[in-house]
Amino acid sequence: MDGRFELTAYDRGRILAARQALADAQAVSLLDASAMARMLGRLEATVEQLIEMVDSPPAAASVRCPAGHPEDATPCGGPVVVTVIDSENAGADGCEHHAARMLASISGAHPVAKPDAPAGVAARVFRTAHHTHPFPWRGNQVGGAA
């Protein structure tokens, strides 16, 4: 093998965290919408990390959607599926991942699904944004205006 699957201590820690997230998800009440939304966000982030660990694309092949902030180094989370419309009716197309991060960082914005997008994608982006801190690429820094 080319060494892509040689696990570091950090990788093994991420796998243990993923197993714990899955175990925690099984204990969440289906009647608690808030807890379900938080758990879906946690599981989504966990799956993204595992996919990145196993199948990260080469840096040269990285093409990002327009909703990806220049300071946000995260890769796209799939095809462009929504347009984030701000309060002045300006919009940016984005994948679910970057659209949610943009939406979380802009007051008064909303997602609009592209015509060929899967059903419910705008609601998923809105829900994910609701559980995302503004300007998440800045880490624990205080977010400013975008």
pLDDT of residue 2 exceeding 70: no
pLDDT at residue 141, as a whole number: 55
Interval 76-105 mean pLDDT:
91
Give the C-alpha separation, 104 to 129, whole Å.
Answer: 5
The whole-number pLDDT of residue 122 equals: 94
Burial class of 91 by CB neighbour count within 10 A (0 to 12, 13 to 18, 19+):
middle
What is the four-CA torsion angle of 116, 118, 119, 121, rounded to 10 degrees? -110
More reliable by pLDDT, 56 or 34: 34
Beta-carbon-side half-sphere exposure of residue 30 (alpha carbons within 13 Å): 1
> What is the rounded distance in angstroms from the CA atom of residue 129 to the CA atom of residue 96?
10
Give the chain's mean pLDDT. Answer: 82
Q: What is the per-residue pLDDT for 4?
A: 55
Mean pLDDT to the nearest integer, 106-112: 93
Average pLDDT of span 90-108:
92
- Mean pLDDT over 46-67 rounds to 71
Higher-confidence position of 4 and 28: 28
3-state secondary structure of 70: coil
